Every structure is written in C-alpha cells, then in structure tokens.
C-alpha cells in the first residue's frame, strides 16, 4: 500500500462509518466529547481499523509518496 491509497481508505471509512454515527453522537450527548472520543479509539471496530491504517502510514513515513 502507498500513502495515497491508505489516506483514501481512511477518508472512505470516516465518510461511511463515522460521519453521523449514532453511538458516538449519543455518548457525546450523555457523557461528553472526551468520552465519545475514548469510545471510538478503544472500543469501536472502525476506530481500531483506523488506528491500524494510521500505523501503516507512519511506517511509510511522511516524506514518501
């Protein structure tokens, strides 16, 4: 995978799954922004996949295309 394809995959996932997510919206309403963010990072399967893709981006490096 190259940097562009990883970034495109991240954008697609955010658009498809994260924008308008009911769970995130409800947690944010009930417990605040930090709790919603923590949920996305630690318990959401989409968040786990996004973290994996971010790690792959880091392996490639910021300078490379």
**pLDDT one-digit tens code per residue, 7-63:** 999 999 999 999 999 999 999 999 999 999 999 999 999 999 999 999 999 998 765
Q: What share of the chain is helix, strand, coil (3-state, %, to 5)?
A: 80, 0, 20
Looking at residue 1, what is its pLDDT? 74
Looking at residue 43, what is its pLDDT? 96
Looking at residue 60, what is its pLDDT? 87
DSSP state of 32: -
Given a cut of 60, whether residue 65 has pLDDT beyond it is no
């Amino acid at each position: 995978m190259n940097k562009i394809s990883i970034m495109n995959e991240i954008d697609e996932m955010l658009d498809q799954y994260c924008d308008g997510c009911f769970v995130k919206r409800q947690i944010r309403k009930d417990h605040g922004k930090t709790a919603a963010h923590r949920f996305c990072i630690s318990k959401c399967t989409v968040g786990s996949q996004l973290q994996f893709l971010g790690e792959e981006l880091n392996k490639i490096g910021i300078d490379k295309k």
